[in-house]
Structures are given as structure tokens and as C-alpha cells.
A and B are shown apart, each in its own frame.
Chain A
Amino acid sequence: MAELLLNIKDLMVGYKVYGGLLKVLNGITIKVNKGERIGIVGETGSGKTTTVKTILRILPRTARIFGGEILFQNRDVLKMSRNELSVLRGQGISMIFQDPTASLNPVFTVGSIISDVIRYSRTLSSSNKSSQIKEAAIDAFRLASLPDADRLLANYPFQLSGGMRQRVCIAMALATARDLLIADEPTTNLDVTIQDQVLRLIKELVDKKKTSFILITHSLGVASEMTDRIYVMYAGTIIEQANTQDLFENPYHPYTHALLSCIPKLSGGGIASGIPGRMPDYLNPPQGCRFSPRCPRALPICEKEKPPLMEVEPGHEVACFLFATKQGVQQ
């Protein structure tokens, strides 16, 4: 029944910088089934954005992909040609970015931008008449609940509020996403009052269009509302993966525990605790588990070897030697 749409296997990505290579992604494995809504949760700098940028191959020039593979609908994304990538981006996968202001070219009207996006997302056979494109643009705006779509097309990005800009980006993403929609921290840069609206809009549209969905966020709370399954990411590694409900009820990894305890609870009193320590230096990352320097329950083996993702319950995997049974080595 579950058809595998996106299969990221052991992805290793780095950035070339002044002193060497920033080894950010340390073997990421993520599987998305058709129709599934998954969340990737982690702190800032954990490599979430790098992961999704690699899927769409929009990494900066300094990036190096040095391991793993990405299969989308059983085609190898990492080996695709320019044209194939164009089709992939225009018709298959789409992305909503974190900063709507930076994502829109400031000297063009939003109408002009979305018209181009729509024009290039169509297959060669369909007509490209400008009136049809304009219709499609207005439709997309309406879908993203942007009022007065007709007049809005003539506005420049700086004339719109932050929330409206993000909705324009959502409209564009929806116009080009058939199979998979990725949202990279779509509300982080918005006012708190708007965040809820935009998140609800995204959820509604994903449900309506039945697209597969990846949500990137640093907030477990947001993830809990919008996803079926969550991957927890730390320092370029997937450290736990489970159904959303399972993850909240039964977290395994010490980092997941710490994240959950960061969420302020309305009941129970007490102050939400932070996590002591900092993210590792990507130039010289720890050889073993990347969380081990901060982990309150680290074992001697954690510093030496990288723990693989192991299934602890059906559909629930953890990368931690604390829970290694037959495969792992317990000391």
C-alpha cells in the first residue's frame, strides 16, 4: 500500500570553506511515502535546510555531495541532467522557503514572478498563452487566500506584508508541486499572530491536494500538529524517527527527551530546561556519535563509533548505543 516516493540514503554533504571542509550531513536516511506528511525537527544549524536543498539540488557553489543517494520516484536525483532537474523542480517537487522577503526578486512585480514560474512549470504540450497563465496565477493566489488577487499581481514584494509575501510563495509552490511539497521553517520569520494562519493554510492545502509533505521546523509543537511521522535531526545525523504520536509518548534518544522537556508545559509547573553545551564544530566533528559530548548518558563507545539507526519498536528507529541489543555492542 505504501508507495515510496522519496528515498534518501546515507546522504553526506559538506561545504568547502576557508579552513577545510564543513562536514555537515553525516549519513542522512529519510524515507517519504506517497501521501505521507513528515516532519524534520532539529536545532538551527543541524543541517535540515542543507538536506532539502540537496533534494532540489539548489545548494550553493561551495557545497560538496560526497556520499549517499537520493531517489525520487525511483530516479536518481543526484545524477539528473539540467533539463531533468528543471522538470523535477517545475512539476514534481516544490519548496516554501523560510524568508519570503529574500525569496522574491525585489524589482519585479509578484505577478511577473508567478507568471514565469507557472509558464515554466507546464509541460511542453500545454498552451502558454499569457491570458491562461494569468488565470492560473489568480487561481493560485485565491487558493492561498490572498485577497483581491487581480490587483495584487501588480504589486512589488516590498509593498506587501510579511504574511502576504509568504502566501505568495505558498501560491507559487502550490502551482508547481504535484507530488511533494517541502516547507522550510515557513513561519519562523513571521509575526506570531500570522504564524498560526499560515500554518493552517498550508495544512489545509496539503490535505486538499493530497500532496506528500515535508515540514522542517525547530519546534516539536508545530511538528506535532502537522505531521504523521517525525525525523529528529542533530548535527547532520538522524537520531530518532517515529510516528508523531509514538515520538511524543515514547521518546528514546536522550536528545529527543531534552527537546521535549524544552517545551513549556501549561500544567505541571516548573521552568522549561535548556540543553547545555553547543553544536559540534563541523570542521572537526566528533568521530563517534555527534551528540556524545553533550549527552548526559554517554557510554565510552559513543565517542568512538557512530551509532546506526536501529529499530526499537515497529516503525520506530533510534541511533543510540543505549538501546543497541543484538546488533550493537553493550559495554
Chain B
Amino acid sequence: MLGKLFQFKGGVRLPYHKEISTTLAVETADIPRRLVLPMSQHIGSPAKPVVESGQYVLKGEKIAQADGYVSAPVHAPTSGLIEDIGDYPLPHPSGMLAQCIVIKPDGKDEWITLTGHSGDYKQLDPSLLRNMIRSAGIVGLGGAGFPTAIKHNPGPDRTINTLILNGAECEPYITCDDMLMQDKAREIICGLLITKHALQAKHCVIAIEDNKPQAISRMQQAVDEFGNSQIEVAVIPTLYPAGSEKQLIFTITGKEIPSNGLPFHIGVVCQNIGTTAAVYRAINHGEPLISRYVTITGDVKQPRNLEVLFGTSVNDLIEQCGGSTADIQRLIIGGAMMGFAMQQTDIPVIKTTNCILVDAGQSKDLQKHKYTMPCIRCGSCADVCPINLLPQNLYWFSKAQELDRIQEYDIFDCIECGCCDYVCPSQIPLVQYYRFAKSEIWKREREQEKSDNARKRHEFHLFRIERDKAEKAEKLRLKKEALKLKEKAKEKGADDKAKSTIKETAPKNAAILAAVARAKAKKEQQKIKPKNTDDLTESQQKLVKEIDERRAKQRNIKSTGDKRKPDEKE
């Protein structure tokens, strides 16, 4: 089974500061006065509310349904009244507002009737398991928030050889997975077995960085209790970003996920510890995903982990941890390497919120940006890049906005782990440059798409005009022809049956006849000169004559002009 581990390229050793939030046991956070639940707590389309303002909901009741395949429902984290459905700030780097359901808890915390499957999960069909996981609103709790049911459905032709449980937790400060493994090792193993069954995976590896000895021993103990030889604990070296999916899969299997591919393309699925525990709660107890472990750390008086209901404000949590040690200067959602700083603290905890890192100017390692020096091409960035990119060149090209060149240097393989930035002696905010380049490329592609669509629309518009014109002309021609034939039939058909038989048998002849008739009719018309000029004065007659001459002349010019320049008709 698990042979040796593979060492991924690059990576950095960091100050972890994990010990500060692991001294206190995990407690359940208080139910706040108000819960703000964003409809978008996952990757994919936002959920659609199925409740109305003023409605009473029970704990665990579905308040929003998945909208499309890549989406996830949202459930009420506690019982209470729906106070509002409207736009509130999201925990998102842009600080954008989006639709949220606001619940005013009634304090009773009353559950809906839960129907879990306490029997043998192996009796259940994998697709049924997936449905249960999907309707429980489970998404990846590691940070990305990809709907778990989709991950559990790699397709009928795929075989999953290895299911990796990601307990690496390589980001500084974050300890929620560590604490969860210590507290709920059995639940995690149960969830792992369910996931294994859902995926029909051959074997499972629980990967934990070696700086979490307690979690390792608890998990090992739980694995031994279950006595399943297809599950093992892999202790991996502590090296950031060991917990990144690409690096973790390489560490365990020695294989690389193809660029633009997904882990299941190489027979691997990677799942977070917390997600796995949620899978167990959903299947065995029928509980939807309504809370999670969150690390509140940094410059707070009592850094710790709390089990937090989704929708709880970050402010409330900081308060529950004794408040910040000084005025808050920066609030980071996530870890110190990949977490994003928010401009305000009144934002809710959502499914993907693993850590709230408070900076009140006392954590020396949390850097303020200094004066940026020019790149000296020292290559330290390339040494630590776990994707084996050339960050110095990516920087150069993004600065110069050479968007084609930067794609040749595989900017879209960059995972934004921040290793290059961390070691850069010139203190260049490299990741920011890469994000800028990526968004510029996306913008350009969107614009390209837009202009392509506009061009297509215009071309179709022209085509339609031409087509309509042609159709009209054709219709007119047919109409005229029909009219002529009718007239002729009237004229000649009655007394001359022989001719009409020719007409019937030989349409070609008929056409000739029609043409002859037309010519005749024209001549006839020209002969009859309808003029109301019989009793005009001399001067009037002269005027009429002049006009006639001018008209004739013009007609002449026009016809010769037409011959010369057929393109300039109009």
C-alpha cells in the first residue's frame, strides 16, 4: 500500500504560531442575536431562498435550495424568525455585498425531525449517498468550498485508487482541523468509510503534518479501533504548502495532477478532515451542515477554536475570545499565507471560514508592506515555487502587461501559495502581480468574447436583411408571374383551348408566351399617352415640353451611368 513519501519541489518553512490557539478546549460559540447567511458559501451558483421574510424556521430547516448542479443548499443554523432577505457584506476579498438570509434566533435552538441512516451505509447505493450529502449542503471545508457530492461523482468509468484525507493544515495559525482530529477522530473515520464507499475507492490515506503529534496519535488510534487495513495514517513533513491538493497528492502518490485536470484524472480524490466529519453527521444523523470549527487567533486575548454556527459575525467571535489585545489593524480570513484581509469586521462566518486572524500590531511576523526594491533576479522565488514556475519572469511579464508571454510561462498553474512572495528579498508583492495578470487576461477574454458575439450578431443582422430582401423579391416575382398567367388564362383560355393545352403541357412555352404578352402590353401602354394637355396655354405647353426633355435627359444619363458603375447605384 503506502510506500515511501515523495518530496515535492520547493516550499518554505514558516513560523507557525499554532500553539497559541490549541491550549483551550473547543467550545460551542454562543448563539448570536442575529445570523447572516450568504447564499454563496461555496463555489458555483448561489443558492435560491425558499423562505420568506417573517417566516419561522427550525434548526436544520432548508432555507435556500441549490440552483443548478454546481451549487449547494443552505440550512437554518438555529431556530428563529427570518428577519430579512437582502444584500449584506460577504467574507470575500472584494468586500462585495450579496444576497443573504438574516435569521433572528429565538434561543430555543429547536431541531427539525432528523432522519439519519444509522444502519450499514454499505447497504446504500453510492448515488443515494451522494444525494444525501448534497441535500445536507456539504461543501469542501478546507477553504475552496467545492460541493462535495460532485467530488464524489467522478463518473462511471473512473476508478479511484486513493482517497486522501487532508489533515495537513499547513497554513500558519490555523488549528481547526488539528482540534477536530483530536476531538472527533472516530467521526472522521466513519465519514471516511462512507466517502470511500461513495467513491468505491480502493484505499485511503490520512495525511497529517508531523507538527501535530496529538492529532496523529488520535487518528492512528481510531484507525486501529476500526481495524480496516485499507486505511492508514501518513505522517508527512511539515513544509508549506504541503496541504495544497497538488502538493499533497504528489507527496502521497508521486503523481502530478495534469494541468487543467482534476485529481480523479489520476485516480485520486482529496477531501478535507472537516468535510469528512460533516459527511458522517449527514449520513448517520441526517444533520445538514450548519456549523464548523473556526480558529480565532492572533491578537485576541484568548486565542482558541470554537464550534461556530454559520452566519455568526466575526465581531461576536472576537468578543467571545476576550476581544482584541489592541485596536484591530487588520483582519485576515484564513491563514497568514493565503488568507485575505477584510476591510471590516462585521462579516459572517461561512462554510469555508477556517480561521479568523486578528492583527492588532502585536504579531511581529504579520508584515506590513515595506518599500519594494527592483527584482534582482536572485531566483529565490523559483527555488521555493512548489509548481516549478519562474516567478521572476511572471513578475516581469505581468509588470510589462505581456499577457501572452505570461501565459507561455504557465501563470494559470500558479496556486497563489505566496512562497515566492515570502522569500523575495526585494519585498515585491508578487502574488498581487499574478492576480492582476490573471484578472487582466480574464477581462481581455471576456472582452474578446463580447466583441466576437457582437460581430456575429452584426453579421447575422446583415444576413437577415439580405435574406428578407431576397425572399421578398422572390415572392414578388412569383406573385407577378401568377398574376400574368391568370390574366393570360382569362384572355386566351376561354376561346382558345389548344393554346391552353400548350400552356399546361409546356410551361416553358407558357413563360415565352407570358413574356410576349408582357412586351405587347408594354407597347400598348406606350401607345396610349395619357395626357391632360389638350387645352393648355402656349407657355404651359412649353413648360411641359421642357420638363419632358429634362426627364428624358436624366433618364438617359442614369442608364448610361448605371452601365459604367453598377456598384454606385444608390
Partners in one complex: no
Q: B residues touching A (Cβ–Cβ < 8 Å)? A: none
Interface residues of A (CB under 8 A from B): none
